[in-house]
Amino acid sequence: MSAHEPVIGVEIHVQLSTRTKMFCGCELSFGDPPNTHTCPVCLAHPGVLPVVNEEAVRRALLIGLALGCEIAPRSIFHRKNYFYPDLPKAYQISQFDIPICGRGEFRALREDGSELVVGITRAHLEEDAAKLTHAGGRRAGAAESVVDFNRGGTPLVEIVTEPDLRSPSDVALFLRQLRQTLLFLGVSDCSMEEGSMRADANVSIRPVGSQELGTKTELKNMNSFRFLERGIEAEIARQEEIVAAGGRVSQETVHYEPDTGHITSLRSKEESHDYRYFPEPDLVPIAPDPAWVEELRAGLPELPLPLRMRMVGEMGLSAEDAEVLTERPELVAYFMEAAALADPKACANWIRGELRAQLREVGVEPWQSKVTPAHVAALVGLLDAGTVTVPAAKEVLAEVIASGGDPADVVESKGLGAMDEGDLAAIVAEIIAANPDQAQQLRDGKDKVIGFFVGQAMKGTGGRADPQSVQRLVREAVRGD
Amino acid sequence: MIDDETVRHVARLARLRLSPDEEQVMREELSGILEHIDAIRAMDLDGVPPTTHVIALENVVRPDVPVPGLPREEALREAAHVTDEGFGVPRMD
Ligand SMILES: [Zn+2]
């Protein structure tokens, strides 16, 4: 056991998927030509005034309520001052000592069923910076960067956690389940690749049993959960090495190189963190009407964690089923509709297994496909009644994916119904007669040979034989038991 | 009076290069501003909540409805330097 334990807190930036920017009416866009969504406000022309986007406030409140945060009766904006080309005002409008959402708590469920509780320090509203790209990308050696202000001013919620996390895998779990919650709230696209969700981790180590916090480093801007997890692992190892060699960790910002697995220090100027926050004089306080806050609280959707607990506790699903099916709110709705019509466990198996596997080949999600939840339930019903075998049901599903027809009709029209016992017994008898050696092996106790007969029966019936029935019929015929 | 080092620190944060004479002027002017704060500190303010805004307004918001912005040519018109349909700046790494 290591003599040290990691102590990790994370900061998550979430771009809100509102129609317009945080402080001006410019439309949000992703992938539009550069600098086609700007105005004097988000370009910081002299004399302009920001005005708060009400929808951004609503979404920040939804996030705060879902994270169990205290909602500030009155919060204010601050200016965070620093110079960088992606920040035209030379300050970012953010929140400082009175954020819109204060202390809260997020509960996540580990695969082993244990609970991970992470304290939320705060969640506040701010604006995103513009996008900076290197002109050198196209012209090697160009000594220039280019600023695209389309992104500048996009509403952001920054969520800050307490240093409650103790392992890289817990960080990844927390972020995955937090992302799910945000998707359920419908406040953001939460795409790590496109940068609409970004995470930084504060990492330190301390002797096991100690209550003090060690010097932390900040691991910046990882664009996938997997890289963040690996980056934290690498940073913990680096800090342990320093301490083992008698050294001291210095407070700095570090970067993880996924290709090499190396941690590099981003040399930051010593004064770069002196942001000289002061209250934004151009914006008045936000004081949400308590009745509005209660209305939002009452209207929160059922969130992933309670939903997963209900799926496991009341519907008989495994923890893994529940985790997979709650990945997206659309998938939850799809499953719930099917599960209301047929055995939930069987619906879960078919949706997360065969249906998704077949649809992946055509690049479509279940809720976008021709297969309705009622079709899934019907298929489960046909299987349950013994009308079709599992291999035939897969064929039926493929046909429904292609044509959108009703499963029972497909069974009928394609002749995929399970064979009746008499016909099947006749086929089994033929197979045994044609393969005396294998039949003898089975009589001699080589039970594995049963698989051979099942395979032959499937081939002979085009998948319409029920494997269990074939096994039973073969045994009866060969051994008389 | 604030000290010279504080003046230089604030100047660096503001990206200002000051001559020794200018530093002296700034030192006096900044100190003068801070003395106003001392005057407030000298008062008995027990029970007075901190004030961040002087107008009694709250919740000035706008609906989330797009309004047309600037055509790109106009947005870039004031740029010191235009590169690749954007604002060209010194290389940032
Ligand atoms: Zn704008």
Min Cα distance A141 → chain B (Å) is 10
CA closest to B55 among chain A residues: A284
pLDDT of residue A390: 87
Task: Answer yes or no: do A145 and B67 touch at CB < 8 A.
Answer: no
| Cβ separation A74–B12 shorter than 8 A | no
What mean pLDDT is predicted for residues B46-71? 93
Question: Are B59 and A134 in contact (CB < 8 Å)?
Answer: no
pLDDT at B1 over 70: yes
State the pLDDT confidence band at B51, using cuts at 50, 70 and 90.
confident
Residue A480 pLDDT greater than 70, yes or no: no
Summarize the confidence of residues A207-223 as an average pLDDT: 88
Q: What is the mean pLDDT of residues A142-166?
A: 94
Chain A residues whose CB is inside 8 A of the B8 CB are none
Distance A38 CA to ligand 1 centre (A): 4
The amino acid that residue A301 corresponds to is: P
Instruction: Please list every residue in chain B whose beta carbon sits closer than 8 Å to the beta carbon of residue A32.
Output: none
pLDDT at position A20, please?
A: 98
**Predicted confidence (pLDDT) at residue B3 exceeds the cutoff of 80:** yes
Which chain B residues have a beta carbon less than 8 Å from that of A283? 60
A50 Cα–ligand 1 center, Å = 9
> Tens digits of per-residue pLDDT, A394-427?
989 999 999 888 998 988 888 777 777 778 888 8
Å from CA of A24 to ligand 1 middle = 5
**Domains observed in chain B:** 4-42 (1.10.20.60)
pLDDT digits (tens, 9 = 90+) for A335-353: 999 999 999 999 999 999 9
Nearest Cα residue in chain A from B82: A146
Ligand 1 centroid, distance to B68 Cα (angstroms):
9
C-alpha A27 – ligand 1 centre gap (Å): 8
Average pLDDT over residues A303-308: 90
A145–B91 CB contact, under 8 Å: yes
Summarize the confidence of residues A308-327 as an average pLDDT: 90
CATH architecture assigned to A421-479: Orthogonal Bundle (1.10)
Provide the number of CB pairs (under 8 Å) joining chain A to chain B. Answer: 135
pLDDT at B52: 87
Confidence at A1, pLDDT banded by 50, 70, 90: very low
Mutation target vs A (from B17, B92, B93; most A CBs, 10 A cutoff): B92
Under the banding of pLDDT at 50, 70 and 90, the label for residue B63 is very high
What residue ranges do the domains of chain A occupy?
4-293, 302-414, 421-479
Residues of chain B neighbouring A34 (CB-CB closer than 8 A): 72, 84-86
Q: Say yes or no for a CB contact (<8 Å) between A76 and B53.
A: yes
CA A189 to ligand 1 centroid distance, Å: 21
What are the pLDDT digits (tens) for A39-89? 999 999 999 999 999 999 999 999 999 999 999 999 999 999 999 999 999
Q: How far apart are CA A470 and CA A476, in angstroms?
A: 10
pLDDT digits 0-9 by tens, A19-47: 999 999 999 988 899 999 999 999 999 99
pLDDT tens digits, one per residue of A433-467 = 888 888 888 888 888 888 888 888 888 777 777 78
Q: Which residue of B has its CA nearest to A266?
A: B93
